[in-house]
Amino acid sequence: MGGFTKLRRVIGDLGAELEVPEPPCIFKVIKDSGNIEWSEMYRVFNMGVGLVVFTSEEYAKEVARMIETLGLNHWVLGRVINGGGIDILIPGGPRIRL
């Protein structure tokens, strides 16, 4: 298990809808060089997302402020939903399901 499929360890039988940022250009080079589908890229690689923090919507702004005080970049990646599976909306690309 790798890449975004690791999120299942946290969400279990729940699902997730993610709007991922544009991945670093090295991932496009890997995709094109290996003729790899985007869905496989997101199954295997983290696509530039180094850490995912889960919090309730109630605490999201507070968590964001804490991350900012550390001088780190952050964004809201998505949300946990009822129902299984992880749906990823790729910038300028397809929606994939893991």
Task: Per residue of the chain (98 residues), give pLDDT as tens.
Answer: 678 888 989 999 999 999 998 899 999 999 999 999 988 999 899 998 988 999 999 999 999 999 999 999 899 999 999 988 899 998 887 889 98
The whole-model pTM stands at 0.81
Q: Which amino acid is at 28?
A: K
The kind and range of the H/E element at 85 are strand 85-89
As for how many domains the chain has, the answer is: 1
pLDDT, residue 1, reads 62
The whole domain housing 29 covers 3-97
> For residue 80, what are the β-bridge partners?
16
Residue 60: which CATH number?
A: 3.90.650.10
CB atoms within 10 A of CB 58: 7
Q: What's the rounded Cα separation, in Å, for the pair 94 and 53? A: 25
